[in-house]
Amino acid sequence: MTTAPESLALLADEAASCTACGLAEGRTQVVFGTGAPDADVVFVGEAPGAREDEQGVPFVGRSGQLLDRLLAEELGVERSDVYIANVVKCRPPDNRDPRPDEIAACRPWLAHQLDLVDPAVIVTLGNFASRLLLDTATGITKLRGADYRYGNPPRHLVPTFHPAAALRGGAGVLADMRSDFGRARNLMMAS
């Protein structure tokens, strides 16, 4: 019987050759996810950008640096202590939004990841991931500031802004993200 880390590695190997949607044609590589296979918290973003596509790692560049900073300052952990993934694993051309058919094709990968990592808390980063996982049209500005239940077995889901929004939006957005990360930390500690 395989352990969860082995199963996650096998799943990543399987995903690396996925051609279930048209995004396979333009990618450099599948950006599956990174971090601790038994993490208490999983961060979920939208889709890889150009740098992520090049490096095969989610959340690199300035957004990734801000995420790392918030992890250290609000959760007291490093990137390698958590698990980070995107809803869609291949880069959409010109960084356009993923289409519904692409999201539907890719969603089982994230579902399997969440099953295997089995976190107590999921933090969705930005409008796209938050709306999708909570199955709502409500925007992140209204969604954030609370925690929700997601999946079966139910886990805590804490929606917050995408780090890119904090880089654009300044101190107010960053303060809200710090508050949301603090909520995630408290939920992790209580679980």
Among 57, 70, 88, 143, binds ligand SF4 (CB under 6 A): 88
- When asked if residue 18 is in the footprint of ligand SF4 (CB under 6 A), the reply is yes
Among 8, 23, 60, 117, binds ligand SF4 (CB under 6 A): 23
What minimum distance in Å lies between the beta carbon of 183 and ligand SF4?
30
Among 20, 77, 134, 167, binds ligand SF4 (CB under 6 A): 20
What minimum distance in Å lies between the beta carbon of 58 and ligand SF4?
13
Q: Which of residues 124-183 bind ligand SF4 (CB under 6 A)?
A: none
Residue whose structure tokens are 């038994």: 38
**Residue 32 and residue 179 in contact, taking contact as beta carbons nearer than 8 Å:** no
- When asked if residue 87 is in the footprint of ligand SF4 (CB under 6 A), the reply is no
Q: Which residues contact 129 (CB under 8 A, 6 or more apart)?
A: 44, 45, 46, 86, 87
Please state, in angstroms and rounded to a whole number, the distance separating the CA atoms of residues 56 and 147. Answer: 30
Residue whose structure tokens are 């993490």: 39
Residue number, 23 or 165, with CB nearest to ligand SF4: 23
Please state, in angstroms and rounded to a whole number, the distance separating the CA atoms of residues 161 and 126. Answer: 4
Beta-strand relationship, 83-86 and 148-150: unpaired
**Residue 166 and residue 178 in contact, taking contact as beta carbons nearer than 8 Å:** no
- When asked if residue 71 is in the footprint of ligand SF4 (CB under 6 A), the reply is no
Joined tokens for residue 15 = 């995903």
Q: In what order do the strands lie in the sheet with 41-45?
A: 34-35, 83-86, 41-45, 121-125, 155-160, 148-150
Q: Can the peptide bond before residue 37 be classed as cis, meaning omega within 30 degrees of 0?
A: no
- The contact mask relative to ligand SF4 for 90-129 (x = CB under 6 A, - = no) is x-----------x--xx--x--------------------
- When asked if residue 24 is in the footprint of ligand SF4 (CB under 6 A), the reply is yes
Please state, in angstroms and rounded to a whole number, the distance separating the CA atoms of residues 123 and 155. Answer: 11
What minimum distance in Å lies between the beta carbon of 152 and ligand SF4?
22
Residue number, 70 or 106, with CB nearest to ligand SF4: 106
What minimum distance in Å lies between the beta carbon of 175 and ligand SF4?
34
Judged by the rule CB under 6 A, the positions of this chain that interact with ligand SF4 are 15, 18-21, 23-24, 30, 88-90, 102, 105-106, 109
